[in-house]
Amino acid sequence: MSRQYSMVAVVLSCFLLAPLPGAAAVDSVATVRVGKEIKTACGRIKELQNGDVSCVMVMDDDRGREFIESGAFELCERKKTLIGKRVQLSYRMEKVLAESCQGNVDCGKSDTVALVVAAKVVGGGAPSSPAPAQARQASFCTSQETLLLGCAAGAKLVSVCASRDLDAAKGYIQYRFGKPSEPLEQVVPDGFVHPSKAVTGSSETYAGGGAVWLRFRKGDHAYVAYSGIGRWGPKGSPLAKDGVAVERNGKLIANVKCTGGVAGELGPDWFEKTGVSVRKDEEFFIP
């Protein structure tokens, strides 16, 4: 039962009821957009069963309504610690064995699905009260832009925004950082520049997960927005790392970690569509 990891993780805290861009609150159940789908952000696991293409997760949301998700096979190995627990779900768009293969791992076909790649046990009670209005601003992207990668970092927001018409020949990308309702602290590049002239980056896969990152340069500084899941947790368990690495003359001088969940549509398809890649002498290791 093979599976290929790709695409950025999308994480939403079960205790933040404010929807991310494009997501909708359904009867006060926290949701998150994953690609073009709206997914439930948290719930209580009732059953975990290995299927042909994924770990089948039978769950109840915070209103007691049953729903079913497809998860990474590793989750089924954690039955003893997950069944009966309320969890925060982390999703990623993944390629899995196609349903039409009927379990034949050699058929050579795949489907792309919103896969649960991590389930973090959280408090058993209902979500807390909605955050204040100011905290509900999820990004600095406008309604005419696409949020490629965004999160809260303490009282500030990280947003990588792109024009909706972006492809290999047209459109723009910008990194924006600062506090809501205040002048932005960083905007890179200064104007509306195509990604081929504004950034370098990569979508990477490795054992137990994958990552995406984009490096925005400004003088002798660079800002690397990143998101990934790897076996960085205790005893090699899946752990998400998301944030912005600040570099000066190629050396890491700060790591601004995401604290309020990550959202966006950055993944392998985006890199292929835009032609963004890394230089021969370039690398990035998630801090």
pTM above 0.75, yes or no: no
Paired tokens of 229: 């899941």
* pLDDT tens profile 44-56: 999 898 887 888 8
Residue 147 has pLDDT above 90, yes or no: yes
Beta-carbon neighbour count of residue 225 at 10 Å?
A: 29
Paired tokens of 242: 């998301």
CA nearest 89: which of 104, 109, 67, 105? 67
Contact 248, 220 (CB under 8 A): yes
pLDDT given for residue 231 in this prediction: 82
pLDDT given for residue 136 in this prediction: 54
Q: Could you tell me which residue, 193 or 127, shows the higher pLDDT?
A: 193
Q: pLDDT confidence of 123, banded at 50, 70, 90?
A: low
Angstrom distance (rounded) from CA 113 to CA 101:
15
- Please list, in sequence order, all residues whose beta carbon lies within 8 angstroms of the beta carbon of residue 276, skipping any fewer than 6 positions away: 195, 196, 199, 200, 201, 214, 270
Angstrom distance (rounded) from CA 235 to CA 92:
22
- What DSSP string runs through 127-169? --PPPPGGGG---S--TTEEEEEEEEETTEEEEEEEETT-SSS
**Strongest mean pLDDT among 39-43, 174-178, 180-184:** 174-178
Contact 70, 112 (CB under 8 A): no
- Please list, in sequence order, all residues whose beta carbon lies within 8 angstroms of the beta carbon of residue 224, skipping any fewer than 6 positions away: 213, 214, 215, 216, 244, 245, 246, 247, 284
pLDDT-wise least confident of 64-78, 127-141, 143-157: 127-141
Residue 9 has pLDDT above 80, yes or no: no
Q: Could you tell me which residue, 168 or 129, shows the higher pLDDT?
A: 168
Answer positive or negative: Cα dihedral of 187, 193, 198, 201. Answer: positive
The distance from CA 240 to its chain's CA centroid, rounded to whole angstroms, is 9
* pLDDT tens profile 181-238: 889 999 999 999 999 999 999 998 876 678 899 999 999 999 999 998 888 878 878 7
Domain boundaries, the chain: 3-121, 137-274
* Segment (H or E) for 73: helix 73-76
Q: How does the average pLDDT of the chain come out, rounded?
A: 81
* pLDDT tens profile 66-116: 888 988 888 988 888 899 998 888 888 888 888 777 667 778 888 888 888
Contact 68, 56 (CB under 8 A): yes
Paired tokens of 139: 């990004």
Angstrom distance (rounded) from CA 13 to CA 213:
22
